[in-house]
Amino acid sequence: MTTIESLSAVAQCTLGATFILSALAKMQTSKTLPEAIRRFTFYRLNVAAARFAAILLPLVELMLAAGLVAGFNLELFALASMALLLVFNAFIIAHLARGSRLPCHCFGDGGTVIGGGTLMRNLLLMALALWLVFLAHSHSAAMFTLTRLLALPWHEILGILVTTMSMMIIIFALGESSALSGPTSSRGRT
């Protein structure tokens, strides 16, 4: 496996695993997710739209994860991932600018509030997606696909898994660092 394929595999697996974990957590909190979405969007969505978004968002995250991990049409799935993360970041920045420290709900009802760590985590994920867009555009023949995984020796698979797990630890640590920044506030409600 080339260095480009290894970097691609780690980025794809990290983004894919993040979206899978996020989607599964959102599905487990389906009763509280619509109200969390309403709060996150500054109550711009009515109850019906928020319920629809609470159903749609985890499905979109699962679809992105599948596309990223499979590696087919990677540029499209990486761009879609960047777009979704950009929307999340726009709302996070708006809340932070207003001093609002509401629960993140990024990975369920874990109690983590949005903050600088949440923003940094999403920027890191966006950087991984941008890297994948670049790789897919400039090195499309060398891109990692799930079918190539089956042909890899065990030590290369282990290397990809260990590196992906290390990236996931960093991603979750960044998000959790927001919890240390202060209490939840309801300021910013419109």
What pLDDT digit, counting tens, does each position of 115-153 carry? 888 999 999 999 999 999 998 888 766 567 777 777 788
Residues in contact with 3: Cβ distance below 8 Å, sequence separation at least 6, in sequence order: none
What is the pLDDT at residue 110? 66
Q: Would you kindly state where each structural domain of the chain is located, as residue ranges?
A: 3-181
Residue 189 has pLDDT above 80, yes or no: no
Give pLDDT, residue 139: 74
Among 145, 123, 120, 150, which Cα is nearest to 135's? 145
Residue 75's contacts (CB-CB under 8 Å, 6 or more residues apart) are 132, 133, 136, 137
Number of H helices, E strands in the chain: 7, 0
The two structure tokens encoding residue 155: 């030590």
**CA distances (Å), origin 54, targets 24, 37, 95, 101, 121:** 12, 7, 20, 21, 22
DSSP 103: B
The CA-based angle 91-92-93, given to 5 degrees, is: 90
* Average pLDDT value for residue range 174-190: 51
Say what the pTM is. Answer: 0.85
Q: Is 70 exceeded by the pLDDT of residue 1?
A: yes
pLDDT score of 86 more than 50:
yes
Cα(85)–Cα(68) distance, integer angstroms: 14
Amino acid at 124: L
CA distance linking residue 153 with residue 51, whole number of Å: 45
Place of tokens 């799930």: 146
